[in-house]
Amino acid sequence: MAAVTELGYVVFGVSDLAAWRAFAADLLGLEVCEEAGESGRLYLRTDYWHHRIVLEADGADDLNAAGLRVAGAEELDALRARLGEAGIAYEEGGAALAAERRVLDLIRLRDPAGNPLEIFHGPLIEPHKPFHPGRRMHGRFVTGDHCGVGHMILRHAGLDKSQAFYRLLGMRGGLEYRIPMPGGVFDILFMHCNQRDHSLAFGPPSTKSVNHLMLEVENIDDLFMTHELVKASPYPILISLGKHANDHMLSFYFASPSGFLIEVGHGGRPATHQSEYYVRDTYGHEFSEQLHAGMSLG
Ligand SMILES: [Fe+2]
């Protein structure tokens, strides 16, 4: 069955490109690239891909697209047919957008909550251009074995609707956290498509499409180096260092220049491909006073 194979890239609309440039390079360690003739746009690299993150200076301060990869042209055609049979609207990305995204072909659609998606195949890989971090790093970002750029929590309009939609795209998953909170139980849905525990998750209430983007570093020293740099920066840490019960990721969360969060993590375990759930994290991950309880997790 044709299926999404990874969260290949993400596109964010931002209001302060200059702040993002410094944030990406100096705090995150991402490689920042520009292309001739493309003003108002930055490409962020974490590996041999042309880009893993696109920043577009349009003032949105939110997700402009989640780029979901399929294996090839046949799989993209099969998904077109499946979406058509299910009555889900999509549009062709077209040659101009494909060239801009550096992919061979793509379609555009929205999930049940209106989150913007691009399903693509054929990303531009540049083995002649090794990743060059924006600042010193001990190791590299974890993107190998087609596990993608990382993961995101997105807005939802009912967990059942999100689960059904992403199942249609060939992803698997279900509820992994059921957290007792004042006033009720808080459920979070996690969907995976490769060896990464989850590529997309849904649960926390959000006015933006994106709650957070997680980037994983392979060397634990890079996690603590980033933590030290963020502590000395104007960007507040909103969820303290801790370990997730589901993906075993040691991580912390901090604000980006666009308001949504960045999670930097280390040591995530591979997807177990079996259903299980948790009622709290292993340790840590305390919410700051700035973050309302239940705003972000996963
Ligand atoms: Fe996360």
Distance 263 CA to ligand 1 centre (A): 6
Please answer whether residues 64 and 154 qualify as being in contact, where contact means their C-beta atoms are separated by less than 8 angstroms: no
Kindly report each contact of residues 226-235 with a partner whose C-beta sits within 8 Å and lies 24 or more positions away, as own/partner: 226/27, 226/28, 226/29, 226/264, 227/252, 227/264, 229/26, 229/27, 230/27, 230/254, 233/27, 235/23, 235/27
Same CATH topology for 6-123 and 151-284?
Answer: yes
Q: Catalogue the E-assigned strands of 74-193.
A: 91-92, 103-110, 116-123, 151-154, 172-181, 184-192
Helix runs in 87-219, H state only:
94-101, 159-168
Please give the distance, rounded to the nearest whole angstrom, from the Cα atom of residue 153 to the centre of ligand 1.
7
> What's the Cα-to-Cα distance from 120 to each of 66, 102, 218, rounded to whole Å?
10, 10, 27
Q: Which fold has domain 6-123?
A: 2,3-Dihydroxybiphenyl 1,2-Dioxygenase; domain 1 (3.10.180)
Distance 247 CA to ligand 1 centre (A): 9
Q: How far, in Å, is the centroid of ligand 1 from the Cα of 255? A: 13
For residue 292, the model assigns a pLDDT of 59
**294 CA distance to ligand 1 middle (Å):** 13
Structure tokens at 282: 């292993």
Report the separation in Å between the CA atom of 125 and the middle of ligand 1, taken as the mean of its atom positions: 26
Which amino acid, residue 53? I
Q: With the C-alpha atoms ordered 284, 289, 293, 295, is the resulting torsion angle positive or negative?
A: negative
**Ligand 1 ion local residues (Cβ < 5 A):** 214, 263, 298
How many A from CA of 237 to the centre of ligand 1?
14
Q: What is the pLDDT of residues 82-129, one digit of tens each?
A: 999 999 999 999 999 999 999 999 999 999 999 999 999 999 999 999
Residue 298 to residue 289: CA distance in whole angstroms = 18
Segment (H or E) for 255: strand 250-255
Tell me, in angstroms, the distance from the centre of ligand 1 to residue 246's CA: 10
pLDDT score recorded for residue 293: 46
Instruction: Return the CATH number of 151-284, one of 3.50.50.60, 3.10.180.10, 3.40.720.10, 3.40.50.300.
Output: 3.10.180.10
Closest-CA residue to 188 (of 196, 198, 197, 179) = 179
Q: Which two tokens stand for residue 151?
A: 């993961």
Strand, helix or coil at 57? Answer: coil
Per-residue pLDDT of the chain (298 residues), as tens digits, is: 899 999 999 999 999 999 999 999 999 999 999 999 999 999 999 999 999 999 999 999 999 999 999 999 999 999 999 999 999 999 999 999 999 999 999 999 999 999 999 999 999 999 999 999 999 999 999 998 899 999 999 999 999 999 999 999 999 999 999 988 777 888 999 999 999 999 999 998 888 999 999 999 999 999 999 999 999 999 999 999 999 999 999 999 999 999 999 999 999 999 998 999 999 999 999 999 887 544 444 4
Give 49 Cα–ligand 1 centroid separation in angstroms: 22
Q: How far apart are CA 206 and CA 259, in angstroms?
A: 12
Do residues 254 and 202 lie in contact, with contact meaning Cβ atoms separated by under 8 Å?
A: no
Chain centroid to CA 282: how far? 22
Domain map of the chain by residue range?
6-123, 151-284
